[in-house]
Amino acid sequence: MKDDILKVLLTEEELQAKVKELGAQITEDYQDKKLLLVSVLKGSVVFMADLMRAIDTYCRIDFMNVSSYGSGTKTTGTVKIIKDLDIDIAGYDLLIVEDILDSGKTLSYIKKILMERKPNSIKICTLLDKPERRQVPDIKADYKGFIVPDEFVVGYGLDYAETYRNLPYLGVLKPEVYSK
């Protein structure tokens, strides 16, 4: 698997240090709030698992599964709900936890449908932001780890064709992997 990686963009140490920083900021900001962390499956699962342990205030967690990339590297533009939240979010301060903000279609769709359910507040925490690829201009992250260049990245939860999510770092694949 490691042989498929062309270059490492963010090391395990860099990712872990940033997660600690984000967790500390969220801890401070949500002291007196009713925090609900909403992890968007499957890409955010690794980030979520680390981030929640870097947060030192009361919180609940829930999961939502949406998908728009199928098995390729381009968004299909249609966001599908595969699994909805389990709990009624009215009155909660939601923090949507995402691995990457790319075209913006996934997060703008999720934010819109969750706002209709009248939570107390909604904010977005994304580990990665790829602003050069944005198609929905008004979607912004409230907490952001790193800005990444316009390249398809894998690892730390992010996949290509459902593979490479288990890499502990973030990398770019060799071009020949896509023609396999």
**Footprint on this chain of ligand PRP (rule: CB under 6 A):** 40-43, 67-69, 75, 98-106, 159
The string of DSSP letters for 93-145 reads EEEEEEEEESSSHHHHHHHHHHHTT--SEEEEEEEEE-GGG-SSTT---SEEE
Q: Which of 30, 47, 63, 69 binds ligand HPA (CB under 6 A)?
A: 69
Supply the residues annotated as catalytic. Answer: 102
* Listed ranges 22-30, 46-54, 115-123, 147-155: which one lies at the site for ligand HPA (CB under 6 A): 147-155
The single residue among 43, 104, 155, 157 that binds Mg ion, judged by CB under 5 A, is 43
The item of ligand PRP, ligand HPA, Mg ion, none sharing an interface with residue 152, based on CB under 5 to 8 Å by kind, is ligand HPA
Q: Is 152 in the site for ligand HPA (CB under 6 A)?
A: yes
Q: How many CB atoms lie within 10 A of CB 110?
A: 22
Per DSSP, which regions of 11-91 are E strands? 35-41, 59-67, 80-83
Query: Which residues of this protein are in contact with Mg ion, per CB under 5 A?
Result: 43
